[in-house]
Amino acid sequence: MAKLDITIAKEAYDALSDELKTFYVATQDGKGFELEGVGSIQRALDAEKTKKATKPELMTELEELRQFKLDQEAAAAKAAEKDLEAQGKYEEALAIKEKAWQERIDKEAADKAQLLTRLHNEAAKSELIKRGGIPERVDYLAAEIVNQTEFELGEAGAVLRKKGGIGDAAELEAMFGEAKNAKPFFFAADGASGSGASGSDGTGGSAKTMPMAQFGALGVKEQAAFIKSGGTPVD
């Protein structure tokens, strides 16, 4: 069974069986083939790596350990496969290959889901900040926006749309407007913008106060963020 890489040349593709060819699509430059769906994920991951040239040391160590474990498991599976083939147990050897391939597919799917979740959250925060959201606070509200929206990453770029809606810009704008009216604490007062903008009581003032009824309507995390920023709920 041929080794399946993320990208392969045309010659390698031609050598595959018809069944394995179904896993591949032509690359963007037309010079080879890539695993369907995986190529776009790889490009997005590469873009993420470029954007974040340095990673926290702990995360780097965890990734290295995870990769070492995967390499060791792959080596053990390969050794078991060769041992079975040497004994003439080709069906068992094939089962090991198929299991390894399925695990690889599952891992790619999990990586894709994790990446899309992270990009969805970043898109929600970006849209909030565009509409006056205070960068230091929008993390708390972004989770709610993620729950209300759908995110899609395609060749044309990232698309954020209201969940269950018709997908137009006006609908999305109305949703963000509702969020701003319901939870003004997360947004800069009219006329203020950017990081460091003063907290608002929702009436355009700069004092970090909020009516007790409005404070009570916030979630636990939002209340904690308000108090941590120096805000005071008032009667």
pLDDT tens per residue across span 21-47: 887 788 888 888 887 766 666 666 666
Residue 72 confidence class, pLDDT cut points 50, 70, 90: confident
d(CA 81, CA 91): 10
Residues in the chain: 235
Token couple for 207? 């004092």
pLDDT for 44: 66
Rounded mean pLDDT of 144-171?
82
Worst-scoring range by mean pLDDT, 94-103, 134-143, 221-230?
221-230
pLDDT for 200: 44
**Residue that the structure tokens 């509702």 belong to:** 178
pLDDT for 51: 57
pLDDT for 81: 65
pLDDT for 167: 76
* Per-position DSSP letters for 176-198, written without gaps between them: HHHHHHH-GGGBPPTT--STTPP
d(CA 202, CA 79): 66
Query: Cβ-count burial of 163 within 10 angstroms (0-12 exposed, 13-18 middle, 19+ buried)?
Result: exposed
pLDDT above 90 coverage of the chain, percent:
0
Q: Are 127 and 144 in contact (CB under 8 A)?
A: no
pLDDT for 198: 41
Rounded mean pLDDT of 212-217?
75
Query: Cβ-count burial of 133 within 10 angstroms (0-12 exposed, 13-18 middle, 19+ buried)?
Result: buried
Closest CA to 40 of 6, 3, 4, 5: 6
pLDDT for 121: 86
pLDDT above 70 coverage of the chain, percent:
71
Worst-scoring range by mean pLDDT, 15-29, 43-57, 102-116, 205-219?
43-57
pLDDT for 195: 42
Sign of CA dihedral 129, 132, 138, 140: negative
pLDDT digits (tens, 9 = 90+) for 193-212: 444 444 444 434 444 777 77
Asked if residue 186 has pLDDT above 60, the reply is yes
